[in-house]
Amino acid sequence: AQTVTQSQPEMSVQEAETVTLSCTYDTSESDYYLFWYKQPPSRQMILVIRQEAYKQQNATENRFSVNFQKAAKSFSLKISDSQLGDAAMYFCAYRSVGSQGNLIFGKGTKLSVKP
């Protein structure tokens, strides 16, 4: 079975600085998808970024980018120019290709942004 591990329960960053959240996963599959979801205090789950495992190029979405290391099974999220609105729980998630389409989540990292 696939597992997702987020080893940083909490992180803190100064406004306008850059922060990297870590995620590792375990799978025997060769093709899959990885996601970062953001959960602000409102509790809404918001998709931040997605990565297809077959793509070598790291995904980017404005200030958010990932460092996908397939061999190391690592999928970190970099937030540049951090803003107060980035403060939230961040969840890394895995999804298989085909078969079941459900997401497998890590435990989350709580990000605080200091003004």
Partner 1 sequence: DSGVTQTPKHLITATGQRVTLRCSPRSGDLSVYWYQQSLDQGLQFLIQYYNGEERAKGNILERFSAQQFPDLHSELNLSSLELGDSALYFCASSPRSEGTGSATDTQYFGPGTRLTVL
The binding site for partner 1 (CB under 8 A) comprises: 32-33, 35, 37, 42-47, 50, 52, 54, 91, 95-108
Rank residues 11 and 45 by Cβ distance to partner 1 and give the closer one.
45
> Please, what is the minimum distance in Å from the beta carbon of residue 63 to partner 1?
19
H/E element holding 81? none
Dist CA 1 CA 53 (whole Å)? 17
> Please, what is the minimum distance in Å from the beta carbon of residue 44 to partner 1?
6
Strands 109-114 and 10-14, sheet pairing: parallel
Rank residues 57 and 115 by Cβ distance to partner 1 and give the closer one.
57
Phi, psi values for residue 44, rounded to 5°: -65, 135
